[in-house]
Amino acid sequence: RIDRGKMKQALLNLMINAIEAMPDGGRLTLGLEREAHQVRITVADTGPGMPPEVQRKAFELFYSTKEGGTGIGLSIAQNIIQAHGGSLQLTTSPQGTTFIVILPLPEGEEERPEPEASPATRVSKGEEVERTYA
């Protein structure tokens, strides 16, 4: 069972990281896709990407490249996601970074229809939500 509060914190940490990676503005894109036995959530930014040495250490506790950063956000996000049986990966290039959250669906959820959402939050399968920050 998903702890909504903890999962919200994990995703918020990923979004904050993405927004902070774009100090001159850019695009934050959230994606959600339900597959047979899992849910895939993506958080992508159009920042400058991460050099290989930063990418290798990104999930280490207390590692930060930010002035005054605590280095706990990505580590906490990874721990929360793993505690839910999922995984957190990242891909990066000079055009931006994408965090990929994979979470297993509980048994029996594969056959359940997707729940209805309010019109303000309805997103079709595979559809992305974008927000541009200036």
pLDDT tens sequence across 78-106: 999 999 999 999 999 999 999 999 999 87
Residue 10's SS3 state is helix
Say if residues 21 and 65 touch (Cβ distance below 8 Å). no
Please give the Cα distance from 21 to 66 (Å, whole number). 9
* Residue 96, pLDDT score: 94
Please give the Cα distance from 55 to 78 (Å, whole number). 14
Please give the Cα distance from 99 to 80 (Å, whole number). 14
Tokens of 33: 């896709």
pLDDT tens sequence across 6-37: 999 999 999 998 998 898 889 999 999 998 89
Say if residues 7 and 39 touch (Cβ distance below 8 Å). no
Q: Is the pLDDT reported for residue 4 higher than 80?
A: yes
pLDDT tens sequence across 46-60: 999 998 888 888 778
Rounded alpha-carbon distances, angstroms, from residue 132 to 29, 32, 41, 46, 97: 8, 18, 19, 10, 15
